[in-house]
Structure 1
Amino acid sequence: MNQNQSSGSSGKQIPYKNLAHDEFRLLSIDTLPDPSQNDATQLSCGIENFRRSQYSTVPAGEREEADRLLPASRKVHYDYSSLFRQSSQNKEYIRSLRSRQTTQPSQSNGRNLGCDLSTRYIALSYNLHAALLELRGPDWIRRGIKAWADALCINQDDLDERGQQIQSMRDIYANAWQTVVWLGAALPSTGTAYAAVLWLAREMGTEDRFKMFIEHHKAATFHVNLCLVNIQPVLAWHSDVFSALRSFFARPYWHRLWILQELAMARTDAPILCGQHCMSLRDLWTASKLISAHEDRAGAHISTSSGIFGRLQDLRVSRDRQLGNDLGKPSRQWGLILRIMAMRDLVPRYYLNLSEVFTAFTEYLVRNNDLTVLRLAHSRVEGIRLKWKTSSLMKILPPLSYLRPTLNLNLIVPTVRSRFQEVSPPCSHKLPSWVVCWICSPAPSLFLPGLYRADHGLSEFETRGRREGDTILRTAGVFIDYVATLSAFNALEADPNYPYNCPASRTLPNSYGSLPALREALWRTIVGDSTSHGGSPTPAYYAILLTPDFWAPRGVHSLPSPGLDFSLGAFMTRDKRLILGGYELRELIPGANRYLRRPRYYRHRGRFREPLEANTRDAHTWATNVLAWRRLVGTRRGRVGLTVAAVHEGDSIVVLKGCGMPMVLRPSDSGH
């Protein structure tokens, strides 16, 4: 369609008309006269102006219709039994699944398939040519339903029309007969992902039932070291199922800002289409609640599972924080779906620009004495060497360096090339430093779920907010300390000066009073004084993290990771000289020096050690995840802390009223 004319469903040209105040445009999708000669690329549509009042009256009882899923032209059968590993615990359940799925009668998609839909329209969430091709097949189109898609139904070149229509979008989605979500073309893994979601929603349904199922049908996950087996109950799916769900939640659709409105206004039976696959928003919502409720049993394995690494790699160690590949981005999008469903009563304001929206949202929380959102504020992080390219000769150098430590390797090392990538690029939206940008990405560190109470006792302090038109946040707080020493935050950091120790680092005091107390502060810090279960207090047995085997450069328990290595052994290798409270890191781990004195490629000789206990492995895995993309720091007064990667020496550590976690602040150019 151009700006001057559009084509009606009858094929005749209709002059282009501006929209009146109560009007909007709708698409009429033409069906093919001969379905047997279906052309996968040809599409015929008409577009006309209509009064919104014609489409705002819903017949009595229609909104209560039980099922308004898209009656797909091609029915897809999902075999739930194919999701599960074959094991003694699962055999009976798999057999019962197959029996029930073969005997269940087919269900009808809707009760009023013969009703007239000529005065109804569907709102398309994420408008694509392929989506319109898919929509022309179902019975809806033959019954006269129309479609609304913002890119086609709003003249994007008319700023006045676009502004007026955007302010009406909430009503457009609310009055639609149905909102249709189009995720894009199907991938080979899409069918598996849909089967997993539908199984969670329809076979499990409740958190208690899902928990009971996991306990009775548990599986074990393997670390990269074959001697270590994680016997913690884990959902007994094939690894390909976790990867399929990860790919599903990583689709670009879930990262669009507009879905906050589109899904919030949609009916709960809104169809979510991906190629020929279809599920309801209600099914996805139910599945997301189950995944979120059992993050350690299912969610963590979805977000970290990826086909680009070996299957024996530990499923929870830093794989979701790799840079340079889309599959490596954190994809816990089921949490976003839960938040969207919880905000269905909010009324959006469309007249604000992006900067004003982000600022107003952050300021709203601050005005209510809730500064927890500042945990998400971030600064730029410098680049790293992302990928190394080298010849096959480099592969034999480690053994050579082990056999001939005095060999001059400079004569045979080929040219090594690498490229740099910023971990956290600077925000381009001109926001105050205290405002969270919901588009730009911070460093991909794991969010700590613990309940922190650093501001306990500051209730008498007054928070003043900010003046009208001012970009400076004025709040109450207490200064604690200055940053003095910093660890490297990844193995390939571009700056070779890390670990960084201030000139007086060896004379820094130990604020904890004794070496054992400093060591306790260290192990509590590297797990964020939290556990993967969120509200649980850190148990005393986490002190096992001071065991030197965990910190061996390439020991049995070091859990090496492909790409950027965040294992404790790698952390010790690059930060052994980091000074905390007057001691080097290698001095704080009893017995660590005996490993560090041996060649780098030392491996434990003799028989493999006994498998780690599940609790011990939880502590070790959690520490590895918490340390990834963060810096371990020491302060001038001898404290130990864990901070964001953007921290510098001399930054202030403060506690703010309303924020349970201490914050790192740096003076701006204006001195604030």
Structure 2
Amino acid sequence: MASHFLYLPLHGDEIRVLKIEPIEDITRTTKRHPIICSLEHVSLPAAGQESSSQQFKGTGRTWPELSVTPDTNALFKNGKDPHACEDSTSSTSEEVLTAEDDLQWRHEWGDFIALSYVWGYPKRKEGEPPYLITVDGVAFEVGPNLYFALTQLSRSMRILQGFKVWIDAICINQADLDERSQQVTRMRDIYQSAWQVVIWLGPKEHDSSMAISALSWLARESEQDKPMENFYIEEFSVDLRPLVIIWPRYKSSMKKDVCRALFHFFTRPYWRRMWIVQEVAMGNMNSPVLCGEACISWIDLYKAVGIIAADESRFGREILESVQPRILPAWSFEFARDRLLHERTWAPERMWKIHQTMTKIQNNQRVTSTSAEWGELVRALNLARDSLVTEEKDRVYGILGIKAIADRVHIEPDYKLSLSAIYTNFTEELLSKGDLNILRLASGHGGYIPFKRTSDNLPPPVRNRSIAPVLLSMLDTVTRLQDKTPVGMPCEHNLSSWAICWSCSPAPTAQLRGMYQADRNLGSAMPMPVITNKALTVKGVVIDTITSLSAFHIDECNDRFPDSSLASNCNIYGDIEQTREALWRTIVADTMAEESDRAPETYSWLLDHKLWQRGVAGVYTYGFGLHDFMARNQHLRLCGYTLEQLIFGHKNWLTKLRMTVGDNYYNSTETQREALSWAINAMAWRRLFGTQNGRMGLGICAAETNDKIVLLRGCNTPLILREFNGGWKLIGECYTHGVMYGEITAKEDELVDVTIY
């Protein structure tokens, strides 16, 4: 923060950039080094206006320090890299810069780097003197992390070459709200116009150099014909219930210290920061990621996390459990960790998967289409909702530069507005062109489960040991009726039910990615929504009523669920086999985890009796398994049948008896595990429901019997609405089998006004 620093006003297309005085021979000691800087006002044209054919300094956007190849032998238990790269033809740092000696700067005033970093971490220790740099001869206080970033940048080859830096905390007068709002509007241009976006994760700690080396190795491994070949050491485990069963257990050939270093790399505060979504999106695949003195390119980081994500249930689990053991080591695989209410920081979606999501957003920035698809929009919105912010208003203002948002939303940041006004205005903008899909993100409080303790509740000596899961299980058993955890937070911001709140956390459900077109045959025109006095009026049709609902988890506290008190015997699907097909397609929302295609016929394997009786050998599901679901919901009625009848048949007692006598665990293939994993994730925190007219579906946990299934023109999925004050209250989206692809038709004059409060 500035202390007695006088900013000169900005004019026109000016921005401020920071010139850092380079220190070529800086010593690597703990002593703080003086950082001498000066602020310059420069004219910055809109991104893309400069010539793309002429070569300038920094052509290729290469970061010279990336040419250093890390030693990867130390990563492995036997001290030898099995796929060591023997020869490297990359240029040295000096060669890269020498080749640019005769090139001009991109602008008359030079060129600049945009820094992406986190402000508040690490915090200054109690009693520690403030971190000061000198700007235009005046002492200027900065946070510890920014000080360390400036120290590292002052050593870098590009700063020595003469590149300047744009840093929000210094280059924007944070005390001037008008300037701050105006510069936030320009953030997209600033980061997109920068020569390069440099990502600073923070100073070296927790073996971060080892983590960078491991990621570099994984990136290189991704280019092999058979990635990760011979990577695992296969061991075995035994389950004695009720018969002796043996299934394989896998251990990687990397040291546990490597997995621990990777855990700390992925849990650095930078990855939770709100603003990085936009900042990384404006970068490119060559953007350098700096962590202390080590660095890796974004493209190599992306390749590395692809390897981890592809083998998440084994290698990903090793990374997570190197620090936070959650389950007994006897299990080979685990599913649904992303769905846990606690420890969200350690969910794969918030660790390695976030890099994949941000890369997709980054790639979409360069797409020339006039409007982004729903999938592109929801990626950015979900990241914004799940990130950490200092200022809640930045959940909207911090993503306005992302193309998927900018294509649809045209608002100016105004930090003087209330949070509820900002969220309402943002939703109105997203609805204004008639696309109502933003309503799919509505969420609410759905109930409670018993409080689950984490390793942080254990004494320090046993927190990270293999006995931790046993102790946690014992504690949960003893206290399960004492404390409760809400599933989905009720909104505290006095918003209409159609206005999406980005601050109150919803249940961590999996996104339904199917290419749904439920509204395809609802008239021919796209009626514009009307908003008056906080009420949203749109065109639609009520198609059904929910009459039965499952529990959303085996441990749901509300004993009323499953609720079949109003269950209907109607069935629009046909005989029992057609109803069974409707069931397996419903539990996967007729789509796949990573693709938007419809679920393949091979997913019908999900009806196998063994999955619903005891589960799959070696797979741990955190209470979301199909066998757990059956244990709680066996008497749920759907389309004239109980769930038990649909899976086991009318003579279900005989089927179960045969399974008890035989091998009642299913030893699955990899393809089958993928199907099961997606079914478990799709069902987590959702309710399976039956309807009055004989349909079945999968809906938000806040659903109740007598809620209506409604199709709105402009929304790709059905929505669950509840009658309220002569109109409706929006509960959330749902999958309803048999209506997702335009099967329901209605002429223009058959659509009715649907007013949502």
Which TM class, normalised by the smaller chain length?
A: 0.7 to 0.9
Q: Which amino acid aligns with 1:569?
A: H
Unaligned runs of 5+ in 2: 120-144, 240-244, 369-401, 459-466, 728-754
2:550 is aligned to: 487
Aligned residue among 147, 151, 154 for 1:133: 151
The answer to whether 1:340 aligns with 2:404 is: no
The answer to whether 1:375 aligns with 2:440 is: yes
1:404 is aligned to: none
Shift in CA distance, 43/566, structure 1 to aligned 2, threshold 3 Å: farther
Q: Which amino acid aligns with 2:360?
A: L
Q: What's the % identity of the aligned pairs?
A: 31
Three-state SS of the structure 1 residue aligned to 2:65 is coil
Aligned residue among 607, 612, 616 for 1:557: 616
1:551-630 equivalent positions in 2, closer than 5 A = 551-552=612-613, 555=614, 557=616, 561=620, 564-590=622-648, 594=653, 611-630=667-686
Paired residues of 1:30 and 1:43 also in contact (CA < 8 A): no
Q: Which amino acid aligns with 2:590?
A: D
Cα distance in structure 2, aligned partners of 1:475 and 1:54: 41
Aligned residue among 280, 291, 298 for 1:263: 280
Q: Which amino acid aligns with 1:378?
A: S
1:306-345 equivalent positions in 2, closer than 5 A = 306-307=320-321, 308-309=325-326, 310=328, 312-313=330-331, 315=333, 317-325=335-343, 326-328=345-347, 330-331=349-350, 332-333=353-354, 334-344=356-366
1:20-59 equivalent positions in 2, closer than 5 A = 20-21=10-11, 24-29=15-20, 35-36=26-27, 38-41=29-32, 43-52=34-43
2:412 is aligned to: 351
Q: 1:203: Cα distance to partner? A: 6.1
Cα distance in structure 2, aligned partners of 1:28 and 1:533: 44
Cα distance in structure 2, aligned partners of 1:222 and 1:368: 57
Q: Which amino acid aligns with 2:509?
A: S
Shift in CA distance, 558/380, structure 1 to aligned 2, threshold 3 Å: farther
Paired residues of 1:320 and 1:329 also in contact (CA < 8 A): yes
The answer to whether 1:498 aligns with 2:498 is: no
The answer to whether 1:62 aligns with 2:56 is: yes
Shift in CA distance, 636/228, structure 1 to aligned 2, threshold 3 Å: farther
Q: Which amino acid aligns with 1:65?
A: T
Shift in CA distance, 495/280, structure 1 to aligned 2, threshold 3 Å: same
Cα distance in structure 2, aligned partners of 1:535 and 1:58: 38
Three-state SS of the structure 2 residue aligned to 1:566 is coil
Shift in CA distance, 157/27, structure 1 to aligned 2, threshold 3 Å: same
Cα distance in structure 2, aligned partners of 1:152 and 1:511: 64
Paired residues of 1:330 and 1:444 also in contact (CA < 8 A): no
Paired residues of 2:116 and 2:200 also in contact (CA < 8 A): yes
Shift in CA distance, 433/153, structure 1 to aligned 2, threshold 3 Å: same
Q: 1:132: Cα distance to partner? A: 2.3
Shift in CA distance, 438/236, structure 1 to aligned 2, threshold 3 Å: farther
User: Which deviates the most, 417-426 or 36-45?
Assistant: 36-45
Cα distance in structure 1, aligned partners of 2:238 and 2:514: 30
Q: Which amino acid aligns with 2:342?
A: G
Paired residues of 1:450 and 1:536 also in contact (CA < 8 A): yes
The answer to whether 1:446 aligns with 2:510 is: yes
Unaligned runs of 5+ in 1: 6-15, 400-412
Q: 1:112: Cα distance to partner? A: 2.4
Shift in CA distance, 462/148, structure 1 to aligned 2, threshold 3 Å: same
Once the two structures are superposed, residues 560-594 of structure 1 have per-residue CA deviations (whole angstroms, 9 ceiling, x without a partner) of: 636x4111121112222322234332233226854
Cα distance in structure 2, aligned partners of 1:237 and 1:356: 54
Three-state SS of the structure 2 residue aligned to 1:62 is coil
Once the two structures are superposed, residues 278-316 of structure 1 have per-residue CA deviations (whole angstroms, 9 ceiling, x without a partner) of: 12234445667x66xx97x45776776621335553545
Cα distance in structure 1, aligned partners of 2:365 and 2:251: 30
Once the two structures are superposed, residues 486-508 of structure 1 have per-residue CA deviations (whole angstroms, 9 ceiling, x without a partner) of: 11112332323222232x43x64
2:133 is aligned to: none
Aligned residue among 699, 702, 708 for 1:646: 702
Q: Which amino acid aligns with 1:107?
A: T
* Number of residues of Structure 1 aligned to a counterpart in Structure 2: 617
Paired residues of 2:420 and 2:495 also in contact (CA < 8 A): yes
Shift in CA distance, 179/454, structure 1 to aligned 2, threshold 3 Å: closer
Three-state SS of the structure 2 residue aligned to 1:100 is coil
Q: Which amino acid aligns with 1:557?
A: V
Q: 1:427: Cα distance to partner? A: 4.0
1:112 is aligned to: 97
User: Which deviates the most, 179-188 or 44-53?
Assistant: 44-53
Q: Which amino acid aligns with 1:561?
A: Y
The answer to whether 1:150 aligns with 2:161 is: no
Cα distance in structure 2, aligned partners of 1:36 and 1:99: 31
Q: 1:133: Cα distance to partner? A: 3.0
Aligned residue among 715, 721, 726 for 1:659: 715
The answer to whether 1:548 aligns with 2:609 is: yes
Q: 1:336: Cα distance to partner? A: 2.5
Shift in CA distance, 640/220, structure 1 to aligned 2, threshold 3 Å: farther
TM-score normalised by structure 1 residue count: 0.75
User: Which deviates the most, 533-542 or 113-122?
Assistant: 113-122
Paired residues of 1:303 and 1:330 also in contact (CA < 8 A): no
1:213 is aligned to: 226
2:86 is aligned to: 100
1:407 is aligned to: none
User: Which deviates the most, 117-126 or 146-155?
Assistant: 117-126
1:519 is aligned to: 580
Once the two structures are superposed, residues 640-666 of structure 1 have per-residue CA deviations (whole angstroms, 9 ceiling, x without a partner) of: 211111211211112233434322122
Cα distance in structure 2, aligned partners of 1:668 and 1:63: 63
Shift in CA distance, 457/603, structure 1 to aligned 2, threshold 3 Å: closer
Cα distance in structure 1, aligned partners of 2:176 and 2:170: 13
Cα distance in structure 2, aligned partners of 1:645 and 1:379: 8
Aligned residue among 576, 590, 598 for 1:529: 590
Q: Which amino acid aligns with 2:442?
A: A
Cα distance in structure 2, aligned partners of 1:593 and 1:85: 53
Paired residues of 2:16 and 2:40 also in contact (CA < 8 A): yes
1:405 is aligned to: none
TM-score normalised by structure 2 residue count: 0.68
The answer to whether 1:179 aligns with 2:173 is: no
Cα distance in structure 1, aligned partners of 2:236 and 2:580: 27
Paired residues of 1:558 and 1:567 also in contact (CA < 8 A): no
1:635 is aligned to: 691
